[in-house]
């Protein structure tokens, strides 16, 4: 009986020892290696994007540890491409082979355009007001993001998804060599989201101050619309404590009484026959 009990006690110890020896590696410990040559793979698309006039000025191997805990480090290649835009200005498009090609084109245009209108319009027209950190100008390409399960929104989702997929192809490429902030609304189905949050020390209960702030925003929008050839798509929100004002532009026209949350749907409809 004692010998039998000893054998039973030994079994858990052997099992525990076996588990510790053969414990599988965590995903966090596995280096993800990306070696695809995007320059060769997307050469035809890049030629279309840059009108055959582009130069890879750097190629670097990168190693990054993500913030996420469920995936390991990434080893990938990053290229910097130099080109001339529609204004003849030198610009740089940074591309890596870890992320999708089309996604990187989309983000590049969105960040470029958002930053341009922030620096050249919002910061200029609102320079007399302290602005909260949430103030910014965002640009979005072909968004579909509300009630996509509804039948009436299926065309919206399919068309915008296909447009983004085609960004990686010569036929669907955005012509960055021709694109400028002034013609961007003709070159891509894009819209601005302008968030203006005034600092707490702005006395919006003072009618002179409130009126001046609103006039500056309206002047800014008129200036942007004129700059873009009356093609502006934008939602503008001004917030201060409990006060909120909103303006909407679609294809250069100020519009009112829109269904809440469906601004991107209205923009989608305005580009039918152009991009889808």
Cβ distance 75 to 63 under 8 Å?
yes
pLDDT at residue number 10: 43
From 17-21, 102-106, 131-135, the region with the lowest mean pLDDT: 17-21
Cβ distance 153 to 26 under 8 Å?
no
Q: Convert the pLDDT of each residue in 191-226 to its tens digit.
A: 999 999 998 888 877 888 889 999 999 999 999 999
- Report the pLDDT averaged over residues 23-33: 73
pLDDT at residue number 69: 77
- Report the pLDDT averaged over residues 120-127: 98
Q: E strands within 158-227?
A: 190-197
For residue 69, count CB atoms less than 10 angstroms from its CB and return exposed for 0-12, middle for 13-18, buried for 19 or more: exposed
- How many Å separate Cα 26 from the centre of its chain? 31
Q: What is the pTM of this model?
A: 0.87
pLDDT tier, 238 (very low <50, low <70, confident <90, very high otherwise): very high
The rounded radius of gyration (Å) of the Cα atoms in the chain is: 26
Q: Is 51 left (phi over 0), alpha (psi -120 to 50) or beta?
A: left
Write the CB contacts of 161 (distance below 8 Å, at least 6 apart in sequence).
144
Six token digits for residue 59: 């190629």
CA distances to 24, 65, 109, 111, 275 from 186, in Å: 53, 39, 13, 17, 10
Residue with the bigger pLDDT between 72 and 253: it is 253
Six token digits for residue 208: 């002179």
pLDDT at residue number 173: 98
In this predicted structure, the answer to whether residue 261 has a pLDDT above a threshold of 50 is yes
Cβ distance 135 to 119 under 8 Å?
no
In this predicted structure, the answer to whether residue 60 has a pLDDT above a threshold of 70 is yes
Six token digits for residue 262: 């469906």
């Amino acid at each position: 009986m004692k010998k039998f009990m000893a054998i039973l006690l030994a079994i858990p110890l052997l099992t525990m020892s076996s588990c510790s020896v053969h414990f599988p590696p965590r995903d966090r410990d596995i280096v993800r290696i990306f070696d695809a040559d995007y320059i060769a793979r997307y050469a035809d698309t890049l030629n279309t994007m840059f009108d055959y006039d582009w130069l890879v000025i750097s190629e670097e191997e990168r190693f990054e540890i993500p913030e996420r805990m469920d995936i390991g480090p990434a080893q990938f290649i990053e290229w910097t491409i130099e080109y001339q835009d529609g204004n003849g200005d030198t610009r740089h498009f940074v591309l890596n082979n870890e992320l999708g090609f089309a996604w990187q084109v989309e983000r590049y245009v969105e960040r470029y355009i958002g930053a341009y209108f922030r620096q050249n319009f919002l910061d200029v027209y609102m320079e007399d007001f302290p602005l909260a950190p949430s103030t910014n100008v965002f640009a979005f390409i072909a968004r579909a993001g509300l009630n996509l399960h509804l039948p009436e929104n299926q065309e919206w989702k399919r068309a915008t998804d296909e447009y983004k997929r085609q960004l990686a192809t010569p036929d669907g490429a955005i012509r960055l060599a021709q694109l400028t902030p002034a013609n961007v609304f003709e070159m891509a189905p894009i819209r601005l989201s302008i968030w203006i949050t005034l600092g707490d020390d702005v006395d919006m209960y003072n009618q002179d101050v409130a009126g001046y702030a609103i006039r500056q925003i309206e002047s800014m929008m008129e200036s942007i619309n004129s700059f873009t050839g009356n093609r502006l798509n934008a939602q503008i929100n001004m917030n201060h404590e409990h006060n909120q004002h909103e303006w909407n532009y679609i294809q250069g026209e100020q519009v009112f009484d829109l269904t809440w949350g469906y601004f991107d749907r209205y923009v989608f409809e305005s580009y039918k026959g152009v991009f889808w």
